[in-house]
């Protein structure tokens, strides 16, 4: 489906998705898309990126912090790492993420935060090598 045939929310979402995750990541995800998951990709681009991330109240830095905390609390390791890598584009700092993970420890449990700290440390190590 060409970008011209998508909704305005999709187009706004794709623009934000590219700003946050970077063109290389989005291009890889798009290249891996099949007919099977095309509707899902449209859904997350419109919903997560076009309806939430594109809203003006929070900055991208603030959304990044909240997103990482929520993903950590839920134990979504790959998504935590992806959003930590995205902090290059959102402006969320290591200090921001450390504070968010401390909140995870209090409100979602020490095991969730402990695991998230491991994921985040690994992501930062990989980013420093790149």
For residues 50 and 7, give the distance between their C-alpha atoms in angstroms, rounded to a whole number. 10
User: Looking at the whole model, is its pTM more than 0.85?
Assistant: yes
Are residue 123 and residue 79 in the same domain, yes or no? yes
The 10 Å Cβ neighbour count of residue 129 is 6
Q: 45 lies in which domain range?
A: 1-56
The pLDDT averaged over each successive group of 10 residues in the chain (130 residues) is: 77 97 95 96 96 97 98 97 98 98 98 98 96
Report pLDDT for 5.
Answer: 78
Report pLDDT for 6.
Answer: 85
* Cα four-point dihedral sign 87, 115, 104, 43: positive
Are residue 125 and residue 71 in the same domain, yes or no? yes
Q: Which of 78, 63, 75 is nearest to 116 (CA)?
A: 75
Q: Looking at the 3D structure of the chain, how many domains does it have?
A: 2
For residues 16 and 83, give the distance between their C-alpha atoms in angstroms, rounded to a whole number. 13
Are residue 62 and residue 116 in the same domain, yes or no? yes
Are residue 92 and residue 49 in the same domain, yes or no? no
Report pLDDT for 71.
Answer: 98
Are residue 75 and residue 124 in the same domain, yes or no? yes
CATH number, domain containing residue 129 = 1.20.1290.10
Domain end residue (candidates: 38, 56, 74): 56
Report pLDDT for 90.
Answer: 98
| Helix spans in 35-76 (H) | 38-44, 60-74
Please say whether the beta carbons of 80 and 123 come within 8 A: yes
Q: Which of 117, 125, 4, 6 is nearest to 109 (CA)?
A: 117
Report pLDDT for 3.
Answer: 57
Are residue 84 and residue 94 in the same domain, yes or no? yes
Are residue 48 and residue 14 in the same domain, yes or no? yes
Report pLDDT for 51.
Answer: 96
Report pLDDT for 19.
Answer: 97
For residues 130 and 118, give the distance between their C-alpha atoms in angstroms, rounded to a whole number. 19
């Amino acid at each position: 489906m060409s970008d011209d045939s998508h909704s305005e929310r999709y187009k706004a979402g794709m623009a934000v998705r590219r700003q946050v995750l970077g063109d290389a990541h989005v291009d890889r995800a798009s290249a891996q898309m099949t007919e099977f998951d095309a509707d899902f990709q449209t859904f997350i681009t419109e919903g997560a990126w076009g309806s939430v991330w594109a809203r003006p109240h929070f900055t991208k830095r603030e959304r990044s912090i909240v997103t990482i905390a929520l993903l950590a609390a839920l134990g979504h390791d790959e998504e935590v790492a992806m959003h930590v890598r995205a902090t290059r584009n959102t402006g969320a700092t290591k200090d921001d993420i450390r504070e968010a993970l401390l909140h995870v420890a209090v409100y979602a449990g020490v095991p969730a935060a402990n695991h998230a700290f491991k994921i985040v440390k690994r992501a930062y190590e990989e980013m420093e090598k790149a």
